[in-house]
């Protein structure tokens, strides 16, 4: 009997030893030095996209997913940002209801979290920045838009009076720099329907400014990645309203064949667009136009009232059916017409050609955002782009890549961008930074089943007023 007990005791003892072997996974060693590149002090210079701006606001829970921070997290590098506590800078767009889709902006704002950080921020992306600003702007008034009479407080938030974006990047003694700038040199023109500013930065001026900027950055003697500019017409800000209106507007019932719009610089109501041209996007209606589609066919001057026009433009008669009568056309500011599209396209082409030439000359690596976003757009027509088990499209809300302002990426959109940088860095410097699984980032927006009258979102007045691109 005693032997039996002994045997059981021995077996038990053996088992305890045999089974307490919780074999350990080996934690990945996060090392900012990868291959021939050192990301210890990564500095990202750019505009709203670099800053992590989403849905019309700079707010902490989105800034945490800026592509710069995502890259830094992948390699375990420290990366400081000008965080603003949620709900962020005034004007964050929020979905009030999905069905009908009602989007409102948040009138509250959060406070900056780390203004006392003693060094410049690693993230030197400033919403609204144009190529000129990086070497020249030191505050809200000296930025290009400030000089034009529209101060941009985002510069004060990020720069804190300690010099330009470039000077602060230099002061950080960076080991690696990303530069993604120039989007606003064409985007501001496009999002305002070609009204404000009335032209993109001239191509020659852009090339000169970019070249000067590249010289300055090259003088720091560190490795640099630059990104080029995606086609502005490939974003939901321009591709949501027209195609939706084309398929859901009751053309037959209203006995109309086309809408009338105001062509830039021409007499009232000379522009016409039928459902096919709206569908194909030969004329683009901006996202701002969504709120006014419910007035189509009604005598309405709501647009001019809500946007504080001092007077109804001459030749416009708001007693005529809005959008369906040449004397009450869709206003210029809501439309990117054929000529404006060509202007935007040509500028983007010229800017990108300057960027790639300068990058080549300076031995900066080039991340071809334009090609990658065009691929995403092309895939939309074959059902989308499957990444990490999620189907992405460039469409508004349902696409998962763009936030509510129709311009800026979601968390997952930022992850997509971060991966493009990571892949370019890996291939250029023989590095092995792991790419981010996009499904691990909190992100895509819930599909709405119904929108307003014509399946379009309703934006409360002022929703777009605070946006800095």
**Token pair recorded at residue 166:** 């470039």
Task: Note whether 208 binds another protein by CB under 8 A.
Answer: no
Q: What is the DSSP string of 165-192?
A: HHHHHHHT--SEEEEE--HHHHHHHHHT
Q: Are the C-beta atoms of 94 and 105 separated by less than 8 Å?
A: yes
Smallest gap from Cβ 445 to another protein, in A, equals: 4
CA-wise closest residue to 121 among 152, 79, 156, 161: 79
Distance, in Å, from the CA atom of 206 to the CA atom of 134, rounded to the nearest integer, reads 13
Cβ proximity to another protein, 12 vs 267, nearer residue: 12
Cβ proximity to another protein, 158 vs 407, nearer residue: 407
Task: Note whether 24 binds another protein by CB under 8 A.
Answer: yes
List 184, 444, 463, 466, residue binding another protein (CB under 8 A): 444
Per DSSP, the three-state class of 419 is helix
Task: Note whether 11 binds another protein by CB under 8 A.
Answer: yes
∠ CA(90), CA(291), CA(109), 5° rounding? 10
Task: Note whether 76 binds another protein by CB under 8 A.
Answer: no
Task: Note whether 4 binds another protein by CB under 8 A.
Answer: yes
Task: Note whether 15 binds another protein by CB under 8 A.
Answer: yes
Pairing of strands 42-46, 176-180: parallel
Q: Are the C-beta atoms of 225 and 179 separated by less than 8 Å?
A: yes
∠ CA(89), CA(148), CA(141), 5° rounding? 55
**Token pair recorded at residue 326:** 């040449």
Per DSSP, the three-state class of 270 is coil
**Token pair recorded at residue 348:** 């983007």
For the segment 33-72, give every residue that binds another protein (CB under 8 A).
55, 61
Cβ proximity to another protein, 96 vs 199, nearer residue: 96
Cβ proximity to another protein, 9 vs 208, nearer residue: 9
Smallest gap from Cβ 24 to another protein, in A, equals: 7
Instruction: Please give the C-alpha separations between residue 431 and each of 31, 420, 428, in angstroms, as whole numbers.
Output: 11, 14, 8
Instruction: Please give the C-alpha separations between residue 191 and each of 90, 197, 266, 342, 380, in angstroms, as whole numbers.
Output: 20, 10, 19, 14, 22
**Token pair recorded at residue 206:** 């852009």
Task: Note whether 255 binds another protein by CB under 8 A.
Answer: no
Smallest gap from Cβ 431 to another protein, in A, equals: 16
Task: Note whether 410 binds another protein by CB under 8 A.
Answer: yes
List 305, 437, 460, 465, residue binding another protein (CB under 8 A): 437
Cβ proximity to another protein, 73 vs 268, nearer residue: 73
Q: In the 3-class helix/strand/coil scheme, how is 140-172 assigned residue by residue?
A: CCCCHHHHCCCCCCHHHHHHCCCCCHHHHHHHC
Choose the binding region for another protein from 12-20, 172-180, 287-295, 315-323 (rule: CB under 8 A): 12-20
For the segment 256-315, give every residue that binds another protein (CB under 8 A).
none
Q: Which residue has the tokens 């507007």?
A: 249
Q: Binding pattern to another protein, positions 145-184, x when CB under 8 A?
A: ----------------------------------------
Looking from the CA of 75 toward its CB, the CA atoms found within 13 Å total 29
List 411, 414, 419, 466, residue binding another protein (CB under 8 A): 411
Looking from the CA of 415 toward its CB, the CA atoms found within 13 Å total 22
Q: How would you label 126-165 residue by residue, b for 16+ Cβ within 10 Å and e otherwise?
A: bbbbbbbbbbbbbbbbbbbbbeeeebbbbbbbbbbeeebb
Choose the binding region for another protein from 21-29, 202-210, 254-262, 301-309 (rule: CB under 8 A): 21-29
Task: Note whether 5 binds another protein by CB under 8 A.
Answer: yes
Per DSSP, the three-state class of 18 is helix
List 10, 76, 78, 99, residue binding another protein (CB under 8 A): 99
Give the binding-site size for another protein (rule: CB under 8 A): 46
**Token pair recorded at residue 381:** 């027509």
Cβ proximity to another protein, 55 vs 89, nearer residue: 55
List 376, 438, 451, 467, residue binding another protein (CB under 8 A): 438
Task: Note whether 439 binds another protein by CB under 8 A.
Answer: yes
Task: Note whether 446 binds another protein by CB under 8 A.
Answer: yes
Task: Note whether 451 binds another protein by CB under 8 A.
Answer: no
Smallest gap from Cβ 430 to another protein, in A, equals: 20
Smallest gap from Cβ 405 to another protein, in A, equals: 12
Smallest gap from Cβ 300 to another protein, in A, equals: 28
Q: Give me the residues that bind another protein (CB under 8 A), please.
A: 1, 4-5, 8, 11-12, 15-16, 18-19, 21-28, 55, 61, 86, 95-99, 387-390, 400, 403-404, 410-411, 434, 437-440, 442-447
């Amino acid at each position: 009997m005693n032997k039996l007990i002994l045997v059981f005791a021995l077996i038990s003892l053996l088992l305890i030893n045999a089974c307490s072997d919780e074999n350990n996974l080996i934690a990945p060693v996060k090392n900012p030095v990868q291959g021939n590149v050192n990301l210890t002090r990564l500095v990202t210079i750019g505009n709203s996209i670099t800053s992590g701006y989403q849905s019309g606001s700079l707010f902490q829970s989105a800034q945490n997913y800026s592509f710069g921070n995502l890259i830094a997290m992948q390699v375990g590098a420290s990366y400081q940002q000008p965080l603003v506590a949620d709900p962020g800078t005034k004007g964050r767009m929020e979905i009030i209801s999905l069905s009908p889709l009602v989007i409102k902006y948040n009138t509250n704002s959060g406070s900056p979290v780390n203004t006392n950080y003693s060094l410049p921020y690693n993230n030197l992306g400033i919403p609204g920045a144009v190529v000129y600003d990086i070497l020249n702007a030191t505050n809200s008034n000296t930025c290009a838009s400030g000089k034009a009479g529209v101060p941009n407080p985002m510069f004060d938030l990020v720069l804190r009076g300690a010099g330009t974006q470039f000077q602060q990047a230099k002061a950080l003694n960076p080991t690696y720099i990303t530069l993604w700038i120039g989007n606003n040199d064409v985007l501001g023109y496009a999002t305002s329907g070609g009204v404000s500013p009335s032209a993109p930065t001239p191509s020659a001026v852009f090339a000169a400014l970019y070249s000067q900027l590249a010289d300055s950055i090259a003088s720091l003697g560190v490795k640099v990645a630059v990104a080029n500019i995606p086609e502005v017409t490939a974003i939901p800000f321009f591709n949501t309203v027209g195609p939706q209106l084309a398929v859901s507007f009751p053309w037959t019932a209203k006995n109309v064949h086309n809408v009338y719009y105001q062509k830039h610089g021409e007499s009232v109501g000379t522009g016409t667009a039928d459902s096919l041209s709206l569908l194909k996007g030969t004329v683009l209606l901006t996202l701002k136009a969504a709120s006014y589609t419910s007035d189509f066919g009604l005598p309405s001057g709501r647009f001019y009232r809500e946007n504080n026009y001092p007077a109804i433009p001459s030749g416009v008669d708001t007693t005529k059916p809005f959008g369906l009568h040449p004397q009450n056309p869709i206003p210029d500011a809501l439309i990117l017409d054929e000529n404006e599209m060509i202007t935007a396209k040509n500028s983007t082409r010229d800017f990108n050609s300057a960027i790639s030439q300068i990058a080549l000359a300076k031995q900066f690596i080039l991340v071809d955002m334009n090609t990658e976003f065009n691929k995403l757009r092309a895939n939309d027509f074959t059902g989308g782009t499957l990444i990490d088990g999620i189907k992405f499209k460039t469409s508004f809300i349902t696409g998962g890549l763009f936030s509510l302002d129709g311009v800026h990426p979601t968390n997952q959109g930022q992850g997509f961008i971060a991966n493009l940088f990571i892949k370019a860095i890996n291939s250029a410097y023989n590095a092995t930074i792991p790419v981010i699984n996009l499904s691990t980032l909190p992100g895509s927006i819930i599909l709405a089943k119904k929108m307003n009258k014509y399946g379009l979102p309703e934006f409360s007045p002022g929703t777009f007023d605070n946006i800095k691109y």
